[in-house]
């Protein structure tokens, strides 16, 4: 990632590069990177709006962070960690039925005549 491709003055380009280095080191945590790079969070979001190269670099860092975490998850799965296995299946195995769902059963003893009587009462109240 060459900082000369970023928009802005040489000083701004250097600040963007510094921020991105900290962002990568913090696995994409914007708050941590802002503190370490000594920039305002709003500055980061302004750069995101104004600089496509910067925005692409941010997206790449997010993808790398996701890859890192997925790698950790797969290591836990390989170690037989039940929680990690269940998490993966609930996230990626939905098409095979690995979802949590709630079943709601409802029964009523209200007859059709009772419902009609209730309906009529409601309709009569609206007319009054």
Alpha carbon dihedral 61, 63, 64, 69, in 10-degree steps, equals 130
pLDDT score for 125: 82
pLDDT score for 95: 82
Q: Which residues contact 64 (CB under 8 A, 6 or more apart)?
A: 24
pLDDT score for 4: 56
pLDDT score for 93: 87
DSSP 91-111: HH-GGGT--------------
pLDDT score for 62: 94
Specify the DSSP class assigned to residue 51. -
Contact assessment for residue 121 and residue 113, using Cβ atoms and an 8 Å cutoff? no
Segments of the chain scoring below 70 in pLDDT: 1-4, 102-103, 128
pLDDT score for 33: 96
pTM of the entire structure?
0.65
Q: Quick one: fold of 3-96?
A: Arc Repressor Mutant, subunit A (1.10.10)
pLDDT score for 128: 63
């Amino acid at each position: 990632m060459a900082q000369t491709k970023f928009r802005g003055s040489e000083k701004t380009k250097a600040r963007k590069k510094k921020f991105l280095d900290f962002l990568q080191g913090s696995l994409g945590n914007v708050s941590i990177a802002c503190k370490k790079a000594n920039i305002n969070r709003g500055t980061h979001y302004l750069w995101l709006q104004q600089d496509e190269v910067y925005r692409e670099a941010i997206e790449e860092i997010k993808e790398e962070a996701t890859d890192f975490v997925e790698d950790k998850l797969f290591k836990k799965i390989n170690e037989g960690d039940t929680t990690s296995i269940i998490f993966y299946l609930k996230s990626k195995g939905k098409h095979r039925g690995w979802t949590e769902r709630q079943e709601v059963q409802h029964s009523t003893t209200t007859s059709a005549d009772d419902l009609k009587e209730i309906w009529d009462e409601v309709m009569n109240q609206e007319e009054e």
